Amino acid sequence: MKACIRDTAAAMTAVTAVVALAACGAGAGADAGGGDGPRIALLLPDATTARWEAQDRPLLEKKIQELCDTCEIEHANARGEVANQQEQMDSMITKGVDAIVLVAVDARSLGPAVSKARAAGVPVIAYDRLAEGPIAGYVSFDGVEVGRLQGRALLRAMGDKAPDPQIVMMNGDPADPNAASFKEGALSVLRGKVRIGKAYDTLQWRTETAHMNMSAAIAALGVKAIHGVYAANDGLAAGSISALKANKIDPLPPVTGQDAELGALRRIVAGDQYMTVFKPFGPEAEAGGAMAVAAARKEGLGRVATGEVATRGDGRVPAVLLTPVSVTADTIKDTVVKEGLHSVDQICTPRLRAACEKAGLT
């Protein structure tokens, strides 16, 4: 029997709702998915960062189906809007789902919705981002370590080329608690070793905003005075690099990233981006899926968890915290390719053939 997956788009119209329900054979448990099994909602934050829809969603669905073939999965993407996600939480609680996997658009603003879910007996698993409020469990990577890896790689790449190195910092969205952890880890390594010429927070992690901010930084600091760019993820790296190129900065300063997106791996092979951070999404989704199924079945999460984290105001909850991996051109093969995130064929477009050979990607 196959679990039924429903898609509730952010701005779901009556028509798409009907289609989604019909596709699931909803109503009186008519479909092969049963309709009697537990229902699990996946609430994703945006369509800006590739990982949520391209990696996390299918991996979570697969794991949930593997563990629970009668489970029904509901999915919604907030498209970067807090109000959408609040509505989606409300709607899932009203529908009476048995558990919610939440990647919060804004950890603080979603706190009341998490409390509402708890009051209604719906456990919320904070996925990747630590949502506020009475969550039942948490699955993520060590975010401070992500920042340290980025900071160390940036120092290594800058070497001693500039006597008084100056960098620009492109940090993530302050509404995402991970952004603060990445920044904290990076600063713990960079402080005292570089000058931070400009630092920006990037609302909704938008690539276009990073492009705009990098253009402003270049105008303020001058084209020759940026020796490195700390970009908190690959989307911000893409925006920064496009602005550096638009200003004809050559050679490009080293730029960091995170997520091992396909575009980033290609930029790394081409020499435009220095590094990314690979966070094995498979193990994260396995832990998240297992917690969601256990929570939906009203079983304890202790069996899935490997530790605990402190939540704001509600004590400690079972957690799984995974280890991130730094990736540069010469380690792509032994990390992301080996782990099956992207294949050599996907990364190595014809334009990159020579560069790929140099990086041992054949």
Neighbours of 89 (CB within 10 A): 26
Pick 72 or 259: Cβ nearer ligand BGC:
259
Q: Are 333 and 341 in contact (CB under 8 A)?
A: no
129 binds ligand BGC (CB under 6 A): yes
Which residues, listed in sequence order, are joined to residue 77 by a DSSP beta bridge? Answer: 44
Say how many residues touch ligand BGC, by CB under 6 A: 11
Of the candidate residues 72, 81, 106, 176, the single one contacting ligand BGC (CB under 6 A):
176
Give CA–CA dist 41/30, Å, rounded: 20
Neighbouring residues of 119: CB distance < 8 A, sequence distance ≥ 6 = none
Per-residue x/- mask for ligand BGC, residues 24 to 53, rule CB under 6 A?
-------------------------x-x--
276 binds ligand BGC (CB under 6 A): no
Pick 72 or 173: Cβ nearer ligand BGC:
173
Give CA–CA dist 114/108, Å, rounded: 10
- Taking Cα atoms as reference points, which of 329, 331, 334 lies closest to residue 355? 329
Of the candidate residues 8, 85, 178, 256, the single one contacting ligand BGC (CB under 6 A):
178
56 binds ligand BGC (CB under 6 A): no
Instruction: Single out the segment in contact with ligand BGC by CB under 6 A; choices: 69-77, 172-180, 241-249, 321-329.
Output: 172-180
205 binds ligand BGC (CB under 6 A): yes
Pick 8 or 178: Cβ nearer ligand BGC:
178
Instruction: Single out the segment in contact with ligand BGC by CB under 6 A; choices: 85-93, 170-178, 262-270, 298-306.
Output: 170-178
Question: Which residues between 250 and 269 bind ligand BGC (CB under 6 A)?
Answer: 258-259
Q: Are 177 and 169 in contact (CB under 8 A)?
A: no
Q: What is the 3-state secondary structure (H, E, C) of 63-92?
A: HHHHHCCCCEEEEEECCCCHHHHHHHHHHH
Tell me the three state secondary structure of residue 9: coil
Lay out the sheet containing 195-200: strands in order across: 195-200, 166-170, 228-231
Of the candidate residues 8, 55, 77, 233, the single one contacting ligand BGC (CB under 6 A):
233
**Interacting residue ranges for ligand BGC, rule: CB under 6 A:** 49, 51, 128-129, 172, 176, 178, 205, 233, 258-259
